[in-house]
Structure 1
Amino acid sequence: MLQPGQRLDDYRIESLFASGGMGEIYLAEEVSLNRQVAIKVIRPEAIRYPDSEDAQKVTKLFRREATAIARLNHPYVLPLYRFGEATLDGIPLMYMVMPYCQEKSLTDWMQTHAKTVLSPQEVDYILRQAAEALQYAHDLGVIHLDVKPSNFLVRYRADDASKLNLQLADFGVAKLTATTGMSQTVRGSLEYMAPEQWEGSPVFATDQYALATMIYKFLTGQAPFKGTGFEQLWHQHRYMQPQPPSTINPNIPPSVDNVLLRAMAKNPSERFPSVMAFAEAYHQALQAPVPKTERAEIPKTERVEMPKTEYAPFYQTLMISPEEASRGTYRTITLPSGEQLPVSVPPGAYSGQVINIPRQNGPSVFVSLQVPTMQTPPPPPPPLSTPRPGPSPTPGPNRNMRYVLAGLALLLIIGGIIVGVSVNNSNNQHNAQATATAQANQQAQATIDAQSTVDAQATIDAQATIDAQATAQAAFPDVRGSYSGTYQDATSSSPLQMALNINQENGQSITGDCTIGTSKFTIQNGTVDSSGNIQFSINAMVNSANVVITFNGTAQSSRGWQGTFSDTNNDQGTWSVS
């Protein structure tokens, strides 16, 4: 730690300003220009092993931050005055010099002015500046990855939020998209991290998610997700939908809900195409008329009535198959605005049926169903019998005989028809009985075959499960037991006692507890590989903030492990137990 009065090149140290994961920030005077500056200092030698991989990672992160800031020249981005290395009292130092903002951060400004909630219009002003800074960084290939109120500095004194002048700072975990071979270590502030950042795959829309989370908190006075630990927050960010902000603060126009919830979509591709598009959509949402039944409360002596907005219904056609119409189905339609709207089609639907889908903050949607039908053309009519022309019959002496013969012929025809019908009915009965018997035999055989298949598959699955369990038990060594050793933090001069009690239930998974000093923690996400190396994490409170510490241990030839640990504040160290 530097002391007041010490000189670092042209800078005289005045006081410690703040401390972070990679070093300290000091208030200093630039002697040659007689101005106050902020100096961020990192000490590579503060890590126990300066040439270790951990020390090199910290130095790389510090250089990356300087490189990111040096690429940016924007009024809403805190500039870099100087980056350098020096030796002070024989100790090597690496430092960055930046402007000193006396009003400190946006978080400090909120606390100083006793603000927990900002108006939608005040937020609009802040969002515009933040979005312009981030968009500029994105255009140059820089993803900030740690967007939060404490990383926006207030340049000048202002008592009104709508007159704040902000600068984006702290690119300590920024990613330069043009670089390769970057670490996939998860870094950032858990409260604001997008799902893809938790998984180590951030994109430009990751900053949009964090900015929307920050705006949500300004509008409602609370974070969208309130987990108490690493796993709870990850689960909520990954799977849970935030509560619409207008249901928390009635002064928020409902039109803002859709904007914020889209910017916080779980899938980055479903967010706005850019962070500036998000800011513009928010601004437009504030201009939208608010229905009378959902108007905001206006804090004035005289109540101002908001005009009632009548929405015209929206019509859309949905084509479904006859099978879907018969049994019912669940479909999704896309509105011209890009909104995905679920449609539940009931069983027995028919062509021309209209389904009304009411929407809380927009026009109702009337979905007209279309069910195609197979049209079979009617059979052609039988041809008309046209009598042939010929001479008219002439009555003769054998006319009576003709009548007798015609009567006999008619009797023979009727008799033949009766016999034929009887024979045909008999054949049909016989054929039907034979068909039924054959079908019954086929069904019985199918039932026997199906049951045989099920039994055989069950036997195979059971054997496979037994084999897999046996293989799993054989693949991973037994590491159950109690271990003791030391825990050495990079910033501490002396180690702490460390103890592990490990249970192993199903091969690779390990549970138990970890004691550091006098504090006991539950082991989470513990695993052991086939070589006996282990990995696990614990949740700890550091300076009233939840920190996740991840341990990696290499199995020793005797008994136990030796390895390193790191936490979500970028603090690192070594540990060993036996």
Structure 2
Amino acid sequence: MSQVLFKGQQLGKYEVIDSLGTGGFASVYLARDQWINKLVALKVPHYQNYDLDHLLKEPRMLARLTHPNIIGVMGAEKEGGLFFFVMEYVEGESFETLLEREKMLPHGLACRYILQVCDAVGYAHSQMILHRDLRPANIMLSKTGAAKVGDFGVAALMEKTPYAKTIIGTPPYMSAEHFQGKAVYASDVYSIGIILYEMVTAQLPYYDVNPAKIEALIMEGKCTPPRIHNKDVPRELNNIILRTMAREVQNRYQSCAELAEAISLFIGKPLEKKEMADIKTRIRAREQTPSL
């Protein structure tokens, strides 16, 4: 059953300051560690009746991860019968909030954010952790511009299995094999591609109010290329996004490192002929404008 905490409520040494949000499995609160005067985030699972091993699954998984682009765990506690774990507090906003306000981002900025996400998720994969729910709501952007991947609540430990069998996640960001109960590391890569698509077009490639119809669209694998929605998306980036979102796993980038390399080469490449021609045209126009 969902647990509601109130402003000013005490949980041991933690004072609740505000609610940061509620999801399907847990609520998150801004709190202050009164012993060291530090702001933290408290994550409180809705269902408290599970045994302790089950409740500790996510914080134990997070304890394996130390990365500047992953929201860190600081501990797990139980006060007054209430289990919660203590997370790093990221002052900023989620990618979801950013996109609700800005609609779409300049492709260069979007790529730089996605490179940070690739670094974080690739590191998680190196620790045999599959996220399974990468979406804008689960990635924070700090006030210093750092992307921070969070919410490993449905993540899977891949030590003893070739793929994750449980079908769980957010349908518009799930790959075809994820819907089939065969999620692999490249399934997270697919989700990153969907996020990048959304960042540069202000819309999802596959969407319907009915999740079953979303699955059917994804299984068909036909989406509108980003350049059709936004002519400012360069052809090379358009092709990178489409490959990241390929329906068949073997046609996709196989790792976050491969995707990051492609994006890095794109960002670092010299200007294309068309871009250079546009710049020269603007320069000539300025030169021909009589000074006042």
Runs (5+) with no aligned partner, structure 2: 285-292
Query: Which of 132, 142, 157 is matched with 2:129 structurally?
Result: 142
Partner of 1:419: none
User: Match for 1:38: what amino acid?
Assistant: A
Displacement of 1:119: 1.4
In structure 2, do the counterparts of structure 1 residues 273 and 17 end up closer, same or farther at CA, with 3 Å as the change threshold?
Answer: closer
Partner of 1:259: 240
Partner of 1:122: 109
Displacement of 1:199: 1.2
Displacement of 1:284: 2.0
Determine if contact 2:30/2:40 at 8 Å carries over to the other structure: yes
In the superposition, the TM-score normalised over structure 1's length comes to 0.45
Deviation readout 1:169-221 (Å, 9 max, x if unpaired): 100110110156x9833111111111111111110001100000000111111
Determine if contact 2:156/2:164 at 8 Å carries over to the other structure: no
Determine if contact 1:253/1:296 at 8 Å carries over to the other structure: no
Asked if 1:40 corresponds to 2:43, the answer is yes
**2 CA distance for matches of 1:245 and 1:21?**
31
User: Match for 1:166: what amino acid?
Assistant: A
Query: Which of 206, 209, 212 is matched with 1:231 structurally?
Result: 212
Partner of 1:99: 88
In structure 2, do the counterparts of structure 1 residues 204 and 155 end up closer, same or farther at CA, with 3 Å as the change threshold?
Answer: same
Displacement of 1:25: 1.0
**1 CA distance for matches of 2:271 and 2:32?**
52
Deviation readout 1:100-158 (Å, 9 max, x if unpaired): 223131222344xx31111121112111100000110011101111111111112225x
Partner of 1:219: 200
Deviation readout 1:314-357 (Å, 9 max, x if unpaired): xxxxxxxxxxxxxxxxxxxxxxxxxxxxxxxxxxxxxxxxxxxx
**1 CA distance for matches of 2:276 and 2:194?**
22
More helix by share: 2
**2 CA distance for matches of 1:95 and 1:297?**
58
Displacement of 1:257: 2.1
- When the two chains are superposed, the root-mean-square deviation of aligned CA atoms in Å is 2.7
Displacement of 1:16: 2.2
Displacement of 1:296: 9.9
More strand by share: 1
Partner of 1:80: 73
Determine if contact 1:135/1:274 at 8 Å carries over to the other structure: yes
**2 CA distance for matches of 1:248 and 1:109?**
19
In the superposition, the TM-score normalised over structure 2's length comes to 0.87
User: Match for 2:29: what amino acid?
Assistant: Y
Larger radius of gyration: 1
Asked if 1:303 corresponds to 2:282, the answer is yes
Query: Which of 5, 8, 19 is matched with 2:22 structurally?
Result: 19
Percent of residue pairs bearing the same amino acid type: 26
Deviation readout 1:7-31 (Å, 9 max, x if unpaired): 2121111222211112211111100
Tell me the SS of whatever aligns to 1:104: strand
**2 CA distance for matches of 1:229 and 1:171?**
25
Partner of 1:154: 141
**2 CA distance for matches of 1:147 and 1:135?**
13
Asked if 1:209 corresponds to 2:187, the answer is no
**2 CA distance for matches of 1:175 and 1:169?**
14
Determine if contact 2:164/2:182 at 8 Å carries over to the other structure: no
Pick 1 or 2: higher relative contact order, CA cutoff 8 A, min separation 6. 2
